[in-house]
Amino acid sequence: MAERPGVRITGVHALSALGRGAEAQLAGVLAGTPAFRPVGRFDTSARRVAVAATLPEVGPLADELAEAVDAACAAARLGAGDRAGAPLLLAAHGGAGVPALAGEVAGRCGLAGAPRVYTSACVSASTAVADAAALIGRGDVDRVVVAAGYLVEPDQYALFDAGRALATDGAVRPFSAGRRGLLLGDGVAAVVLESAGAARRRDAPTLASVLGWGRAGDGHHPCQPDPQGRGLARAVGAALRRAGLDPEEIGYVNANATGTGYSDAAEAAALRLAWGEHAGRVPVSSTKALHGHALEASGLLELVVTVLAVRHGKLPVNAGWLGPDEACPLDVIRDAPRRAATAYALSLNSAFGGANTALLVGAA
């Protein structure tokens, strides 16, 4: 790939039910076998659904986050001095202990503090990545570590169950006919982002670059997406404009699609609004069908998966497919991974509040 300006991704790490570590994520999404299993972590006898994508033997969230940050920094070959100048942007479910969690993780990992925690539901981590890229681009800092974590726990599980958001058939079927909802999944990830100059000066490994990003709101409803997808379409447009790329150059979209009827249709509408007929020709899948929905961490887990897949040159399948839905006229990757036609990919996320993000990466 010709060198484009952008923010370098020099180290990644992730944990999900697919396994522990970046390579486990790549192997898992290319294998295409969903990681959902009966929940054994807590009692689900009062719930309608009792399935999630959980990794056995996970530690407390603070420990898993610290391990992820350390592993990503090690992958980026960051020394203690390099870490000391890098702030942590953390994404996690909000609550009284969350600012302290950020401080603890930053302190344990030798980072330059944690100014804020992103609590924007399912766009928390992707917003943090966009902000990190913007901070680096503005010249505030040379390097930012973004970390995010959600481990399936009883309170959010009960809320999603009570909201009838969970798939009663135990499968996530993004964009598919017969989809019944989402399933939750563990996700802890960390990514080291650096300016091109800083990465070059220390001869850092570059996995990919964040070339563009966009954040936009629907202004439509507290909890439902705009059925026309106007906010997400604006986020996609902003990401491509920042990257200086045309839609025809995008080889893959890792969609937000949760397997929920109206929201998957709204995402398809957004891509059609942004790209017109071409939206039907871009390979799309949602890896939530494999690793579940990691809520506040979903944007970072999916960014890691997207980067690794595009680098590897193979695009993961959209598991759970039963058949086409005319409300989702997209080129959904089914049956087997597909060869990546270009090095550029989008990772999309949407959340309650009509919040939308688009992250555009180019594999190195």
Binding stretches for another protein (CB under 8 A): 43, 46-47, 87, 93-96, 98-99, 102-103, 113-121, 123-124, 127, 130-131, 134-135, 137-138, 140-141, 154-156, 158-165, 214-223, 230-231, 234, 238, 351-355
Residue closer to another protein, measured from CB, 54 or 176: 54
DSSP 8-class letter at 41: S
Q: How far is the CB of 191 from another protein (least distance, A)?
A: 18
Residue closer to another protein, measured from CB, 119 or 342: 119
The Cα 303–Cα 348 span in angstroms is 9
Residue closer to another protein, measured from CB, 62 or 98: 98
The Cα 22–Cα 2 span in angstroms is 25
Residue closer to another protein, measured from CB, 134 or 341: 134
Query: Could you tell me if residue 280 is left (phi over 0), alpha (psi between -120 and 50 degrees) or otherwise beta?
Result: alpha
Q: Which residues of 76-96 are buried (b: 16+ CB within 10 A; e: fewer)?
A: bebeeebbeebbbbbbbbeee
Phi, psi of 168 (to 5 degrees): -75, -10
Q: How far is the CB of 47 from another protein (least distance, A)?
A: 8
Whether the Cβ atoms of residue 238 and residue 274 lie closer than 8 Å to each other = no
Q: How far is the CB of 160 from another protein (least distance, A)?
A: 6
Residue closer to another protein, measured from CB, 63 or 131: 131
- 24: number of Cβ within 10 Å: 16
Phi, psi of 179 (to 5 degrees): -70, 145
Q: How far is the CB of 349 from another protein (least distance, A)?
A: 12
The Cα 347–Cα 286 span in angstroms is 9
The Cα 267–Cα 272 span in angstroms is 9
Residue closer to another protein, measured from CB, 123 or 257: 123
The Cα 297–Cα 17 span in angstroms is 13
- 276: number of Cβ within 10 Å: 10
Q: How far is the CB of 238 from another protein (least distance, A)?
A: 6
Q: Indicate the angle between helix axes 61-75 and 98-108, nearest 10 degrees.
A: 40
Residue closer to another protein, measured from CB, 51 or 133: 133
Whether the Cβ atoms of residue 242 and residue 4 lie closer than 8 Å to each other = no
Residue closer to another protein, measured from CB, 1 or 40: 40
